[in-house]
Amino acid sequence: MEKLIQSEIMSLRQAIRAAGPPASNLLAFGIAAMDAALGGGLACGALHEIAAPRESEMAAAAGFALALAAERRKPVLWVAEDLALAESGAPHGPGLDALGLPPEKLLTVAAPKTRDVLWVMEEALRCPALGAVIGEIRGSADLVASRRLSLAAGNTGALALLLRAAASDEASAATTRWIVGAAPAAPSPYGPGAPRFAVHLIRNRRGHPGSWIMEWKNGFVLATDHEPVAAPALDRPHRAEKSAA
């Protein structure tokens, strides 16, 4: 299997032509409070972890990751564990277009286990033609694996995004950790409005945490007419203890 994945990586490198000059090392959201929390924007050349609050909200977490990757304006590699594909499916062409990522710029790889996803990510992050590498896993990624991904991303300036179906408290070299779920869309005369995301930045090495309700309108904007959204359950252990009692 390792030889097969190595062959996929070699084919990927041959298929992608050399990219232009390096992009900025910060990816700004254009939302003042958010960019201030991040020290100017999301750091490229670094690893970031994005988790859904629960499996049923993986589409929101994946959409957030893909929208960030699309901002790099370069080809993107998506590598997913077989179990993740079975549970959540693969990216959808019209959805990619809606997020500003042409489907032909997304390359996909399936890997049998978490360790294979991490290995493919590390190899792909060494390719300077890629703007971002997204890895969707269901298993654990230890500190050593996250450090290797961080180093590989730092060498090329690529955006490394590790996508999970649930938040993890494992030690990690990730620069940021996010929990991203769905938020109610605003009503419109034609049905539901633009998609909204409940975004919680729970760990941030370059700034401070924060929570926002964001709306996608050919780019992220703050949703100003929303109902309050509770913090993720893992941030409310005292309530869990009371329920158990």
Phi and psi at 157, nearest 5°, equal 80, 10
Domain that holds residue 234: 43-185+192-244
Q: What is the pLDDT of residues 172-201, one digit of tens each?
A: 999 999 999 999 887 777 777 788 999 999
Residue pLDDT tens, the chain, 245 long: 666 556 655 655 554 433 333 445 899 999 999 999 999 999 999 999 999 998 889 999 999 999 999 998 899 999 999 988 888 878 888 888 888 888 999 999 999 999 999 999 999 999 999 999 999 998 888 899 999 999 999 999 999 999 998 888 888 999 999 999 999 887 777 777 788 999 999 999 988 999 999 988 888 898 876 555 555 555 444 444 444 44
CA distance 231 to 229: 7
In a domain, 145, yes or no: yes
pLDDT for position 158: 93
155: CATH: 3.40.50.300
38, part of any domain = no
Instruction: Give the pLDDT score at 92.
Output: 83
Distance CA 175, CA 177 (A): 7
Length of the chain: 245
Is 5 inside a domain boundary?
A: no
Q: Is residue 91 part of a domain?
A: yes
What are the backbone angles phi and psi of residue 190, rounded to the nearest 5°?
A: -110, 15
How many independent structural domains does the chain possess? 1
Question: Distances in Å between the alpha carbon of 21 and those of 25, 31, 128, 131?
Answer: 12, 26, 10, 11
Domain annotation covers residue 118 = yes
Determine, yes or no, domain membership for 10: no
23 in a structural domain: no
Q: Would you put residue 107 in left (φ > 0), alpha (ψ -120 to 50) or beta?
A: beta
Q: Is residue 116 part of a domain?
A: yes
Kindly report, residue by residue over 80-120, the tens digit of the pLDDT.
999 888 888 788 888 888 888 889 999 999 999 999 999 99
Q: Give burial (CB, 10 Å; 0-12/13-18/19+) of 176.
A: buried
Return the pLDDT at 204: 93
Residue 95 backbone zone (phi > 0: left; psi -120 to 50: alpha; other: beta) = alpha
